[in-house]
A and B are shown apart, each in its own frame.
Chain A
Amino acid sequence: MVTTADQREIDNFAALSDQWWDMRGPMAPLHAFTPIRIDYILANIERFWPKKARPVAPASRPLTGLRILDIGCGGGLLAEPMARLGASVTGIDVTEAAIIAATAHAKQADLDIDYRCCTAEDLASTGVTFDVIYASEVIEHVADRGLFIKAIANMLDPKGAVIVTTINRSLPALLLAKFALEYVVRLVPAGTHDPRKFVRPNELRREFAAVGIMLDDMTGLAPRPGGGFRQTGSLAINYAASGGFI
């Protein structure tokens, strides 16, 4: 069976699932990485779906009326903020334990999120579409990237936005993400990343162009001394990309 899910990757994340929302636990770096990912996602939602054009959205819930798909939602670190801002969010993940953790946490936070344990192509086969699709720190874990990107294209509204954050296949990225984070400071569990699956910005651009999606914005994301991240011009390590159908 052809699938985008990689069983060894799924096992890695299953081991982490009960710790998704422990801010001090193994997911702490991902929590620290969350504000800047939200900023990038919100800025690009605004680019494709400007607030002015959606007057029904109340100020405190500016994403009201938007259908958002979170691919590889994990424990719901990004899905929950999006739901809180008013979007109707679907979160999918191939790790069942993550979906269980995410569902439990959303219930606790009193948020209505449609979580499903399935692959992107499973969901695409149902024929649903979304105004915004994002895959944050996911594409470097999938087994068949071409299939994955095709599934995104199949589910994206003609006017919709796709947003990806991932890690470059570069020497600095390899050093930081693989050895520094996993082995030296042990911020993330060893085995989290397989550097052969890291994606260069140009490859990503080309692969999305093949399905008719132009990634017309790419921004580097770099840690800031004293905590948190900032946007940078350098795509050498972590970067975000966004775009829509040409």
Chain B
Amino acid sequence: MSEIGIVGGGLTGVMMAVTLSHCSETVTLVTQAPPTAKPRHDDNRTTTIHAAGKAMLEALGVWSQLPKAAIPVTRIMVAEGPIQTGRMARRQQEFGLSWQDADHPMAYVVDNAALLEALGHALAKRPVTVIQPATVTGMELVAGKAHLNCTDINLPDFDLVIACDGAKSQLVAASQLRKFTSAHRQTAIVGSLALERPHDNTAFQRFLPDGPIALMPSGDHLASLVWTLPKQTAETLLSADDDVFDQACNDAFGSHLGILRVVGKRFGWPLQPTWMPKLGTDQLLFAGDAGHHIHPLAGQGYNLALADAAVLADCIAKAHRRGLSAGHASVRQAYQRGRQIEIAAMTAVNSGLNAMMSYAPNPLAKLAGMGMTLINASPAKNLFQSIARGGVLARANLLDGRLPD
């Protein structure tokens, strides 16, 4: 009923195309490279998907296509402050805050390469037109339709365009909408770690004065590392030998999982959380990192992208039930309404936690530590746990595992 264009062929763009193909027969995916292009073989980055996101990917027929089983996360353990040594270490419980639910995993960790492959298979089965290679530089409205300016080819016009082209989105830049971007003070080091002891399907998070270090279970005796550090420190560690890096890593995380050893390549990920008050303008919407780039410490970035697609699918389905095209202003308003709370909350919580735990003077950090103890002991824990599962701050059919109607 509407002609929908999606710009960006990454994890978000392909997922968006698969999702919206359930609302419209004419979905076009515009990408720079083939959407199923294999990432570099040494790129072992992973993505964390919460329980609601898994339900969505199952409903979309993506989950069953994963070439490699996702690792369930059944426990989350959080520690505040550097590792203790000597007598203190024995007296204090190392990870003061922990959630566990062995029967209902709160999240899953999948290799990016595996996820992209599964999305590619699902895409091939859907009525989506893929146009590539095409570099989109901007958009203009011509006679009520969205016209994409493209350096390579002439693209058809659309009722609605969704920018899924990442944190450096050309379309977002060209829209000139207000965008708040944090200064680049920190870099996250991402990579894969071999563990001496089994992780027991636990996600670990330790808040350190320099920034949090997080380990997500990603395989047998294998964990995905997201280590936030000041820019300079990260650069030094990124260029250091594996031995030096391993030592620093063990010193930071502690001995809970035995000796940690880096495997494969390490990547530096400049941290510049962004937030936009408006998630789109006339007939152009932003999704995924193009619209909101959050701190990766809690692994919620892709979950926000999944919820973007799930909510938008409902908005478009509703417009179609009204006989309106996806380009109608009510779609943008409903999308904005459906997404702003979760995005603002996630942006604030993730940046806030990071700032509070990393840079705060001692009393504030202590207060945060006390907060953690409180969370651990109160019903708030259940709330946090259900938020971590997803589908609470954002409501959509797909997040409950149902296709949009």
Contact = CB atoms under 8 A, between A and B. Distances in A.
Contacts of A226: 333, 336-337
A227 B333 contact: yes
A38 B1 contact: no
Interface in A77-93: 80-85
B330 A21 contact: no
Interface stretch (B171-179, B321-329, B347-355): B321-329
Contacts of B1: 60, 84
A118 B179 CA distance: 50
B329 A32 contact: yes
A108 B328 CA distance: 16
A34 B333 CA distance: 13
A24 B329 CA distance: 9
B143 interface: yes
Interface string A136-158: 00000000000000000000000
A228 interface: yes
B144 A21 contact: yes
A155 B327 CA distance: 34
B43 interface: no
Nearest to A87: B323
B242 interface: no
Interface in B325-346: 328-330, 333-334, 336-337
Contacts of A35: 319, 322, 324, 328, 330
A175 interface: no
A57 to B, nearest CB: 13
A46 B116 CA distance: 44
A23 B143 contact: no
A107 B235 CA distance: 59
B330 A34 contact: yes
A39 B333 contact: no
A31 interface: yes
A189 B70 CA distance: 59
B353 to A, nearest CB: 28
Nearest to B144: A21
A38 B282 contact: no
Given A31-B328, A227-B333, A108 B143 contact: yes
A108 B144 contact: yes
A42 interface: yes
A221 to B, nearest CB: 14
B323 A228 contact: no
B322 A31 contact: no
Contact of B282 (A24, A84, A105, A228): A24
Contact of B323 (A24, A32, A84, A227): A84
Nearest to B145: A108
Given A34-B330, A228-B330, A85 B323 contact: yes
Contacts of A28: 329
Nearest to A82: B323
Given A24-B282, A226-B337, A31 B329 contact: yes
A81 B320 CA distance: 9
B329 A23 contact: yes
B318 to A, nearest CB: 9
Interface string A1-32: 00000000000000000000101100010011
Nearest to B320: A60
Nearest to B283: A23
A51 to B, nearest CB: 12
A136 to B, nearest CB: 14
14 contacts: A21-B144, A34-B328, A34-B330, A35-B319, A38-B322, A42-B322, A82-B323, A105-B144, A108-B143, A226-B336, A226-B337, A227-B330, A227-B333, A227-B336
Interface of B: 1, 143-144, 282, 319-320, 322-324, 328-330, 333-334, 336-337
List the 3 shortest-distance A-B pairs measured between CB atoms, nearest first. A81-B323, A227-B333, A84-B323
